[in-house]
């Protein structure tokens, strides 16, 4: 029987090790039992790593979370912070449940590093959150309403924010968060910020409008979109 060299198989499917990712991230993925990137990951990770803005869509369950968490982790690991105190990465999600899911994946990735991640969700104790923000976390996972409240109270500043990520952007707009997204965008308005926007669909009427305001010359990745 003919044994094909491994490289033949390797050439067909990209592995996470084909991206320029820190060894610690590859180890975390191994522990999570994840080896082959999904299509949205294959297309979004290089854009995320390039520093360019991104507007990406693919259906639920396609692996969008790692498509933004891996470039976010890599940027924090590989570059010097713009600010010692401000969060470096802010990830916004429409609901407590979705934010908690993303936070738990992020926890697995930061566990292997010296970086700190917190979540700031509506319905939880405001003063405890203010204290957690005062400890200068590198990553903040939040719902927009509560994050905007802390911004207004000056419990955090976003002048040093390097990466703003909007996940489930269509649902954030459905829930009426456009105004909070604009306030957060304003607070983090500087040249070196990168913005990644993810959505299950691009059909939402307001999505192009908010993308035009928040993203600068974005790359577009749409998986499974019908034309």
34 lines the binding site for ligand ADP (CB under 6 A):
yes
- Residues pairing with 195 in the sheet: 164
- Of 38, 83, 95, 201, the one binding ligand ADP by CB under 6 A: 38
- Whose Cβ is closer to ligand ADP: residue 41's or residue 185's? 41
DSSP characters over 60-111: TTS-HHHHHHHHHHHHHHHS--S-SSS-SEEEE-SSHHHHHHHHHHHHHHHT
- Spell out the residues 6+ positions from residue 220 whose beta carbon is closer than 8 angstroms to its own: 54, 55, 56
223 lines the binding site for ligand ADP (CB under 6 A):
no
Sites for ligand ADP among residues 66-105 (CB under 6 A)? 66
Residue showing the smallest CB distance to Mg ion in the complex: 64
Sites for ligand ADP among residues 52-71 (CB under 6 A)? 60-66
Q: How many residues bind ligand ADP (CB under 6 A)?
A: 12
- Whose Cβ is closer to ligand ADP: residue 63's or residue 160's? 63
- Spell out the residues 6+ positions from residue 187 whose beta carbon is closer than 8 angstroms to its own: 151, 157, 158, 159
- Whose Cβ is closer to ligand ADP: residue 64's or residue 155's? 64
36 lines the binding site for ligand ADP (CB under 6 A):
yes
In whole angstroms, the minimum distance from the beta carbon of 121 to ligand ADP comes to: 17
In whole angstroms, the minimum distance from the beta carbon of 80 to ligand ADP comes to: 29
- Whose Cβ is closer to Mg ion: residue 64's or residue 193's? 64
Is the backbone of residue 223 left (phi > 0), alpha (psi -120 to 50) or beta?
beta
State whether residue 139 is helix, strand or coil: strand
- Whose Cβ is closer to ligand ADP: residue 41's or residue 129's? 41
Collect contacts of 206-214 with beta carbons under 8 A, ≥24 apart: 206/173, 206/178, 207/169, 207/170, 207/173, 210/169, 210/173, 210/178, 210/181, 210/182, 211/55, 211/169, 213/182, 213/185, 214/164, 214/166, 214/181, 214/185
In whole angstroms, the minimum distance from the beta carbon of 199 to ligand ADP comes to: 10
Residue count of the chain: 227
- Whose Cβ is closer to Mg ion: residue 40's or residue 215's? 40
Residues in contact with Mg ion by CB under 5 A are 64
150 lines the binding site for ligand ADP (CB under 6 A):
no
Name the residues that contact ligand ADP, by CB under 6 A.
34, 36-38, 41, 60-66
């Amino acid at each position: 029987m003919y044994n094909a060299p491994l490289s033949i198989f390797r050439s067909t499917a990209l592995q996470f090790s084909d991206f320029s990712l820190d060894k610690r991230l590859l180890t975390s993925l191994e522990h999570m039992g994840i080896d082959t990137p999904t299509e949205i990951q294959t297309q979004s990770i290089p854009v995320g790593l390039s520093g360019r803005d991104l507007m990406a869509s693919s259906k639920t369950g396609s692996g969008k979370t790692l498509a933004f968490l891996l470039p976010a982790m890599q940027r924090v690991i590989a570059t010097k912070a713009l600010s010692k105190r401000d969060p470096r990465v802010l990830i916004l999600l429409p609901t407590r449940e979705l934010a908690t899911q993303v936070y738990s994946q992020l926890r697995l990735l930061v566990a292997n590093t010296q970086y700190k991640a917190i979540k700031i969700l509506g319905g939880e104790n405001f003063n405890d959150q203010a204290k957690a923000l005062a400890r200068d976390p590198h990553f903040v996972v939040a719902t927009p309403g509560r994050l905007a409240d802390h911004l207004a109270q000056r419990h955090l500043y976003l002048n040093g924010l390097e990466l703003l990520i909007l996940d489930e952007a269509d649902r954030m707009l459905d829930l009426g968060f456009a105004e909070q997204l604009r306030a957060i965008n304003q607070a983090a308005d500087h040249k070196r910020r990168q913005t990644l926007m993810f959505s299950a669909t691009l059909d939402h009427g307001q999505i192009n409008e908010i993308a035009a305001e928040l993203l600068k010359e974005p790359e577009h990745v749409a998986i499974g979109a019908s034309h």
